[in-house]
Amino acid sequence: MADQSDESSKRRVAARALAFVEDGMTLGLGTGSTAKYFVELLAERVRDGLDVVGVPTSERTRAQAESLGIRLATLDDIPELDLTVDGADAFDPALRLVKGGGGALLREKIVASASARMIVIADASKRVAQLGRFPLPVEVNVFGLASTTRKVERAAAEAGAHGPLALRRGPGGEPFVTDGGHLILDCRFDPIPDPETLASLLVAIPGVVEHGLFIGLASAVITDGAAGIEVVER
């Protein structure tokens, strides 16, 4: 296998996802460096006559797709989509994901859950036996940050997950602010022994807007296997 996280690997898994796209489809467009390749390759197909409408999962993806001439809509225009193609920070054998490394988890989860299918494109470095190595992003409201942080810690301990939480910061050291105007706590819970319990405890905390555990959403993961591109179905 080649370098597990090289750019050509990301491009290859993105290219394979095009096989799932059909003329006339409504598509959720993911965020991140792998999803960026997918949008780029999709735009080539659109220039060749493919007719699709995309719903972007971030302002970043919106800007890219718009600049490449992909027709865009919102979930208010099209509340149910045919397919979402998005990246992931980690996936386990049950196709449970950690997402939000790029800070777009809230819109990504809303768009994925509005889609009949979610196909994940992830190079081999994202494949894990157990979630937790990649810090879990938890999107929180600005109000009551210290109180919410404490509740997240307690919820994690109840679900058997332990480790430090850090407020995500931008390149200049300022707090990172999501497209929705919220903050992100990066939670170094390694391992996450019971993702389902952790997920249900996190959503019950009032200050938590969303968390990066995507459970039961991915229909398939396209990744690099020992024998080349592999489509792992749930």
- Asked if residue 34 belongs to a known ligand binding site, the reply is yes
β-pair type (115-121, 81-86): parallel
Dihedral (Cα; 105, 106, 108, 111), 10-degree rounding: 170
Is the dihedral angle over the CA atoms 58, 212, 86, 125 positive or is it negative? positive
CB of 42 to ligand 5RP, least distance (A): 15
Indicate which residue of 40, 44, 66, 108 is catalytic: 108
Closest C-alpha among 152, 187, 155, 181 to residue 168 = 187
- Asked if residue 31 belongs to a known ligand binding site, the reply is yes
**Cα maximum dimension of the chain:** 53
Cβ atoms 5, 127 nearer than 8 A = no
| Residue 56 or 102 with smaller CB distance to ligand 5RP | 102
| Residue 40 or 162 with smaller CB distance to ligand 5RP | 40
Compute CA distances 173 → 4, 17, 18, 167, whole Å. Answer: 30, 36, 38, 10
CB of 101 to ligand 5RP, least distance (A): 3
- Asked if residue 99 belongs to a known ligand binding site, the reply is yes
Cα 61 from Cα 31, distance rounded (Å): 6
CB of 157 to ligand 5RP, least distance (A): 25
| Residue 38 or 155 with smaller CB distance to ligand 5RP | 38
CB of 189 to ligand 5RP, least distance (A): 17
Q: Which residue ranges make up the site for ligand 5RP (CB under 6 A)?
A: 30-35, 86-89, 99-105, 108
- Asked if residue 223 belongs to a known ligand binding site, the reply is no
44 is catalytic: no
- Asked if residue 124 belongs to a known ligand binding site, the reply is no
List, in order, residues 6 or more apart from 86 with CB less than 8 Å away: 28, 29, 30, 31, 32, 35, 57, 99, 108, 111, 112, 118, 119, 120, 121
The catalytic residues are 108
Binding-site members for substrate are 31-34, 86-89, 99-102, 126
